[in-house]
Amino acid sequence: MKKKWSFLTIIFTIVIMLTGCEPLLVLDPKGPQAERQASDIMLSIGIMSVIVLVVFVILIIMLVKYRASKQREDYEPPHIEGNIWVEVICVGIPVLIVAYLSFVSVQSNNIVESAPKGYEDKEPLIVYASTSNWKWHFSYPEENIETVNYLYIPTDRALEFKLYSYGPITSFWIPQLGGQKYAMADMLTTLHLAADAPGEYMGRNASFSGKGFAENTFNVTAIPQAEFDEWVEEVKESAEPLTEEKFVELLKPSIVGQSTFTGTHLEFLPPPKKHNKHTNRASNSEHSEHNKY
């Protein structure tokens, strides 16, 4: 009786604790790229759940049907030849599952590497996202402003992030908007995102890069285009200009708060000219003029 109540108490405690957990951010998408990836995750979970269920059912059947019987000690079971259908099922079904998931993965990869669905004909907002130990620098070349450790983006507009690093390899990740992508030294990678709804989102470096990795995060605020334009004007009126000396100081390994500047470091310290072809193949030719930044 005591064991029974102890078991029920443990189950009750686990249930109570789980009710306080927040939903996984990757399963709470706020943009078309993240929605596609969330659907792929749920598809994979569904297929794996079916496989696990079938395996446990077969296991129970085997344990019950073929359990040890009360035969004499010298009993020898009859010789049974292999069954071609069992072999076809055991090999064929896994091959079909892997082939299907491979097809879905390739299709999804092409989708998330392209301009977000529904935004193909709209001019994207270009943001150069560079990282240094242990901070994020966001340069808006068209708006001529720069922020540190926080990001403002307009909703209902395609976003095109140009990623690179002034230190070790890092990974740019906003879970509710899309998957992660590497930011590397001496190379630009391109990440296409979009935010469908206003809100506050979490962004971070998803690749371990030293003792300050845990603080290598940034806040993302998605607001309507009109409010975004107002924010840009406010920054231009109130923020201090970004000088080369100030930026060089920011590049030193340190953990800092949020900062806002007019001008960008792209003017005196341009980003790498080399693009990663495999991650930038979806960029349209009409955006080539932005490469000069």
Per-residue pLDDT tens digits for 139-191: 999 999 999 999 999 999 999 999 999 989 999 999 999 999 999 998 999 99
Pairwise CA distance, residues 291 & 287, whole Å = 8
pLDDT reported for residue 138: 97
210 contacts: CB under 8 Å, gap ≥ 6: 133, 134, 168, 253
pLDDT reported for residue 290: 37
pLDDT reported for residue 284: 40
pLDDT reported for residue 8: 61
Banded pLDDT at 282 (limits 50, 70, 90): very low
- Sign of the torsion formed by the C-alpha atoms of 18, 24, 25 and 28: negative
Q: Which amino acid is at 181?
A: K
Pairwise CA distance, residues 128 & 182, whole Å = 13
162 contacts: CB under 8 Å, gap ≥ 6: 126, 127, 128, 129, 188, 189, 190, 271
User: Is residue 223 pLDDT above 90, yes or no?
Assistant: yes
User: Is residue 293 pLDDT above 70, yes or no?
Assistant: no
The pLDDT tens digits of the residues spanning 93-112 come to 999 999 999 999 999 999 99
Section 7-32 average pLDDT: 69
Most confidently modeled of 6-20, 23-37, 186-200? 186-200
Can you read off the two tokens belonging to residue 67? 């359990």
| Closest to 48 (Cα-Cα) out of 109, 101, 116 | 101
pLDDT reported for residue 225: 95
185 contacts: CB under 8 Å, gap ≥ 6: 164, 165, 166, 167, 168, 169, 272
Banded pLDDT at 266 (limits 50, 70, 90): very high
Q: Which of 30-34, 120-124, 143-147, 148-152 has the lowest mean pLDDT?
A: 120-124
* Between residues 127 and 89, the one the model is more confident about: 127
Q: Which of 57-66, 176-185, 270-279 has the lowest mean pLDDT?
A: 270-279
Domains of the chain, earliest start first: 26-48+85-283 (2.60.40.420)
Pairwise CA distance, residues 269 & 86, whole Å = 64
191 contacts: CB under 8 Å, gap ≥ 6: 160, 161, 163, 172, 178, 181, 279
What percent of the chain clears pLDDT 70, i.e. is strictly above it?
86
User: Is residue 228 pLDDT above 90, yes or no?
Assistant: yes
pLDDT reported for residue 253: 92
Do residues 175 and 141 lie in contact, with contact meaning Cβ atoms separated by under 8 Å? Answer: no
pLDDT reported for residue 22: 57
CA atoms within 13 A on the CB side of 208: 2
